[in-house]
Structure 1
Amino acid sequence: MDVRLGHGGSMFFVRDALRKLTLLSLLFGMAFRAAALVPENVVVLYNSSDPESEEIAQYYRQARGIPEGNLVGLALSQKPQISRDEYNRTIRDPLRKIYEDRQWWELGKNQSGQTLPFVNRRPVLAIIRGVPLKIGGSPLPADFKSDPDDPISKRNEAAVDSELLLLGGLDAPIQGVAPNFYFEGEKRFEDSKLSFMLLISRIDAATVATCKRMIRDAIQIEKTGLWGRAYIDYSNRHQMGTSWLNSIQNECRAQGFATVADRFNQSFPRNYPLSDAALYYGWYDSSVSGPFLNPQFRLRPGSVAIHIHSYSAAQLRDASRNWSAPLLEKGAAATVGNVNEPFLQLTHRLDILNDRLMRGWTWAEASCAALPVSSWQSVALGDPLYRPFHHLDGSGEEIERDRDFRSLVKLARKNSDPGQRLKAIETLAAKQKSGILSEAAGLEALAQGKRGEAQKWFKAALVEYQSADNQIRQYLHLAAIARHAKQTKNAAGILKSGLSRAQSFPNSAALAEWLQIVEPKPKPKPKATSGS
């Protein structure tokens, strides 16, 4: 992720560009009304030239109960990238006409005399695998004057999805970015009065089977709610991203999610046991790494998993490259990514996204509210109607595997004070003798700076857990405490102890990788050679 705009005075150009673009909101002077987010309000856009695209579109329509009349099939290129002219001719203009012809929009004039939608009966657009992903760059106008200190103003390549956000609005200049009027929105979209906008998410992945699984998981998990652990991989790349992750960690803890936070400069090691991962936020490896290289690893069904990287969604067909496609292939139901370099400030604000999801918002609302700009590089991937956390109040179908995780959320809702919350978790963990609860007590104690208590609870979880993966993670927790305290020999001893017990299990590779960090093996000396 290029963060050059985050340093010194050059950040002025981004702020100034956004300020000027935001002034365009004054042109939308009507009292806009928008429809509620229900299946009847979802348009499903697919590529009629691609049989697999239509197959997924029909699968999604039937699974969600979307009216058949909401399907839109356009004859499109089967290449992932198209030109600006082709985008206008084959996607933008036909889609606008369909909205008008099918009376999904009611048009009127605003105070400035422009014709715009003031009622939008189809505010959600689900883009299906097969629709082109990217718009390539085009030559700049002859009279365009580029500012050498402003690297975004002369760029005009973009994600198709990001261009469509303002389908009903003014045609902004294609150079640089356009505003997202829903950014940092506090109201649900139906109350936002932004009828010229669309909420967009793409159902796309490496295979048709994965796309269908994403749809099934979203619908199934909405019945029970998404429960499990949150895993946050800081990697300490840039203060802005770190602040987002800090906010996410605090929010997850406050909501009652046992939260594993790795604050070392290295990413999670290979085969780190991300057991019961409902949420994953990390950065900044260039391509899929660490736990996700384990062929057997799967995220929890319905999980939200995101790795910050400039080109995380540069392609979606190879599940071994970049990040978005691999995360979906490993079981995630939703993620966000970037098709080109977006600059950190102009990509999804993950803290806002996580916050809105925790409020029970749909995936399309949360991901859009987290995006500072449109006509840029970001995409959201997943069922737009998916609401992973609308059962945090304790509602929904209860199943056995969620029991302890539900208990943690229930305790958090009763104990907003961190100290009281920790006591409540410890009391329940001592009573239940549950590895999940004891580990949660250790994680909460550690987050509150109580390392001694954390060690006690991780050791308890080590005994209570039956699976090797969960036991390996306790060794890693204990070793992490020693590493942060600069107790290198102690950390090495803990890792060696774990290896002696679990070296036959694949996830012991995480212990071995950390051991190499804290106690690196000396490089072999080069063999002496005889002179000629």
Structure 2
Amino acid sequence: MLRHLIAFFCSAASVFGALNPDQVVILFNRNAADSDTLAKHYAELRDIPATQIVGLDLPDKEQIDRDEYRTQLRDPLAKIFDDRRWWLRNDGPDGKKQLSGLKVRLIVCMRGVPSRIFHNDTQADPEQDAKDPQASLRRMMMTSSAAVDSELMLLGLENPKTEGPLDNPYFKSTTPIEKAAIPILLVGRIDGPSPEICTRMMDDAVATEKTGLWGFGVVDIANKSAAQDPSGDPWFRTAAKDLREKGFPVLVDRFHPTLPRNFPLPPTALYYGWYDWNVSGPFINPHFHFKRGAIAIHLHSFSAAQLRDAGKNWCAPLLARGAAATVGNTFEPFLHLTHHLDLLNARLLDGFTLIEAATMAMPVVSWQGVVLGDPLYRPFAHLDGTGAKEDDDRVFRALRIAQLRWPDDDLRRRELQKAATRMNNGTMTEALALDFAEGIDANVAVTLLTDATRQYSAPTDQLRTELLKIKLDRERGQLAAAKQGLRAALSRYSQLPEKDAAQVWLDTLEADATRTK
């Protein structure tokens, strides 16, 4: 069955063009160790000419002020663009220069280029704030603090306003950037806790493009009320649905806290979650590592507040744990002005590059968003079944081909159940169980998870499938059974650090029971 599924070929995938190497400029900091080495490595990987590598004398720090940004980064870089004719600029009606043509469409900032602009805006007036509760919000919205990369998108404009965000003309676009007539540059960043991590991010992106990105999706929904959250949770629900419709098995957590400490995740290719300030849950487990080429995003206001400490915030820790790419925020963006993750996920699945997908998902520029990873990375260029085949991806490729071959959901599930029984493969069985768990038939899901526990040989995989059964008990209100299962798991897997996940869930259920007495 598996061989037949992988042999099935579908030619319906979209084909996108790619930026030419001479449309990409790589920016590094002459004063930061390894910044030039990383720039040269990226140029070699992507065949970008040495003439497209630009070094500037920049402060060797993550955060700069507005004067430093203007005098040491923006103005010198704009002059280079003028001198090398990487754009055409004319005087606009207001006498300021404006773009009339772009040769270069993408700037790639390397580790060492500052990532944040901090501006000490007007101080709060407590008396005024007490009279007008919206005053503080308006002040935050008109901040001049921003991500360097988001400001560089407006490099071609002469002295644009710096207070607050500006509309992004590429938002919700479906046009590849080389065909888009928009007056902004795309700006991405290869940055992280160490030069070695940055090198690995680049290498992983190029390697994964040859095979395609395959694996489990993990979506951690905060389960907020509609009043608390009119948009965030729906983004995550849509992303999970879109992944399933492409054939990816998706583990969805809907409990209000994030996934518990040391939860034993499956081979994770995509992670979308919220909302903790600092890295938590499965990602503090030293044994955890994402699949090569993984896209991992945790939505938080300050997820990219720093990129050096792998134990703080979210972007740096996710990259340190093996992700090839993520997005984040340098300062408070407000939910509606951050990356719309449903759009980002959809554009990636459509075959766009990381930087195109992320920019299409961002409603504003001159704001807080940053895109980390090889901007030219196309993780889903092989959803049609093409690409180099690797043994670790065989089950996931089969699930994708089954989605294409049998559009009828019931038929596909029957065929996959036959395959899972015949193959005696834990990954296939668990993937099918996750599908049935999404409102299809919880009893079938439990049976399949029991089978998967038996089929897996690794104790961490066995524990996960036990926890997924307990998750179904909790969702169905069978709390006594859930607590019994958690106690059994704690006894059976007492030597595993991942047992902490069972303890967290048990503590939560017992605390809930105490509060309701």
Local SS of the residue matching 1:519: helix
Aligned-pair distance for 1:499? 2.7
Distance 1:522 1:190 in 2: 58
User: Across the two proteins, how many residue pairs are aligned to each other?
Assistant: 484
CA distance, structure 1, for counterparts of residue 274 and residue 408 of structure 2: 30
User: Which AA in structure 2 matches 1:177?
Assistant: P
How far, CA to CA, are the matches of 2:93 and 2:249 in structure 1? 51
Aligned to 2:457: 466
Structure 2 counterparts to residues 123-202 of structure 1, below 5 A: 123-139=105-121, 148=135, 150-169=138-157, 171-194=159-182, 196-202=183-189
Relative to 1, partners in 2 of residues 1:130 and 1:152: Cα closer, same or farther, differing over 3 Å? same
User: Quick check: 1:152–1:177 contact (8 Å CA) kept in 2?
Assistant: no
The one-letter amino acid paired with 1:401 is: D
Distance, in Å, in 1 between the alignment partners of 2:101 and 2:256 is 49
Tell me, yes or no, if the aligned pair for 1:74 and 1:91 is still in contact at 8 Å: yes
**Structure 2 unmatched runs, 5+:** 1-16, 124-131
Does residue 44 (structure 1) correspond to residue 26 (structure 2)? The answer is: yes
1:289-316 per-residue CA deviation (whole Å, 9 max, x = no partner) reads: 1111111211111100011111111011
* TM-fit CA distance, 1:418: 3.4
Match of 1:59 in 2: 41
Structure 1 counterpart SS, 2:27: strand
Rounded to whole Å, the distance in 2 between the matches of 1:487 and 1:78 is 56
Which one of the candidate residues 221, 224, 228 is aligned to 2:215? 228
Counterpart in the other structure of 2:279:
288
The residue type equivalent to 1:335 in the other structure is: T
Mapped to 2, the partners of 1:116 and 1:155 lie a distance apart of 24
Query: Pick from 320, 328, 331: which aligns with 2:319?
Result: 328
Shift of 1:61: 1.3
Structure 1 Cα separation of the partners of residues 144 and 169 of structure 2: 20
For the structure 1 residues 444 and 111, does the alpha-carbon distance in structure 2 shift closer, same or farther, using more than 3 Å as the test? farther
Q: Deviations over 1:172-229 (max 9, x none)?
A: 32111112110111111112111x2111111100111100010110011111111000
Distance in 2 between residues matched to 1:108 and 1:426, nearest whole Å: 64
1:118 correspondence with 2:77: no
Conservation of the 8 A alpha-carbon contact between 2:121 and 2:143: no
Query: If the length of structure 2 is used for normalisation, what is the TM-score?
Result: 0.89
Kept in 1: contact 2:327–2:372 (CA 8 A): yes
* Contact preservation (8 Å) 2:154, 2:160: no
Asked if the contact 1:109–1:116 (Cα under 8 Å) also holds between the matched residues in 2, the reply is yes
Counterparts of 1:522 and 1:417, CA distance in 2: 43
| Separation in structure 2 between the aligned mates of residue 217 and residue 301 of structure 1, nearest angstrom | 6
Name the structure 2 match of 1:24.
none
Code of the residue aligned with 1:176 in structure 2: it is G
CA distance in 1 between partners of 2:139 and 2:340 (Å): 20
What secondary structure does 2:138 align onto?
A: coil
Please list, as runs of the form range in 1=range in 2, the aligned pairs for 1:351-390 lying within 5 A after superposition.
351-390=342-381
Equivalent residues of 2:219, 2:236 under 8 A apart: yes
Residue number in structure 2 paired with 1:250: 241
Instruction: Give the Cα separation in 2 of the matches to 1:406 and 1:110.
Output: 52
CA contact (8 A) 1:140 1:154 kept: no
Residues 1:97 and 2:73 are matched in the alignment: no
Question: What letter corresponds to residue 154 of structure 2 in structure 1?
Answer: L
What is the CA-CA distance between 1:424 and the residue it aligns to?
3.4
**Equivalent-residue separation in structure 2 for 1:110 and 1:445 (angstroms):** 59
Offset of residue 498 of structure 1: 2.4
5+ residue gaps, structure 1:
1-34, 524-532
Which piece of structure 1 moves more, 50-59 or 204-213? 50-59
Q: Per the alignment, do residues 385 and 490 of structure 1 end up closer, same or farther by CA in structure 2, a change over 3 Å counting?
A: same
Tell me, in whole angstroms, the C-alpha distance in 2 between the residues paired with 1:258 and 1:208: 33
Paired with 1:383 and 1:218, the residues of 2 have a C-alpha distance of 7
| CA distance, structure 2, for counterparts of residue 113 and residue 412 of structure 1 | 56
Confirm or deny: 8 A CA contact 2:170 2:359 kept in the other structure: yes
Residues 500 and 138 of structure 1: is their aligned pair in 2 closer, same or farther, counting only changes over 3 Å?
closer
Match of 1:85 among 56, 67, 84: 67
- Give the Å deviation of 1:414: 2.4
Measured in 2, the distance between the counterparts of 1:222 and 1:493 equals: 45
Identity of aligned residues (%): 41
Contact 2:262/2:285 (<8 A) preserved = yes
* Change in CA separation of 1:518 and 1:138 when aligned onto 2, cut-off 3 Å: closer
TM-align CA RMSD: 2.1
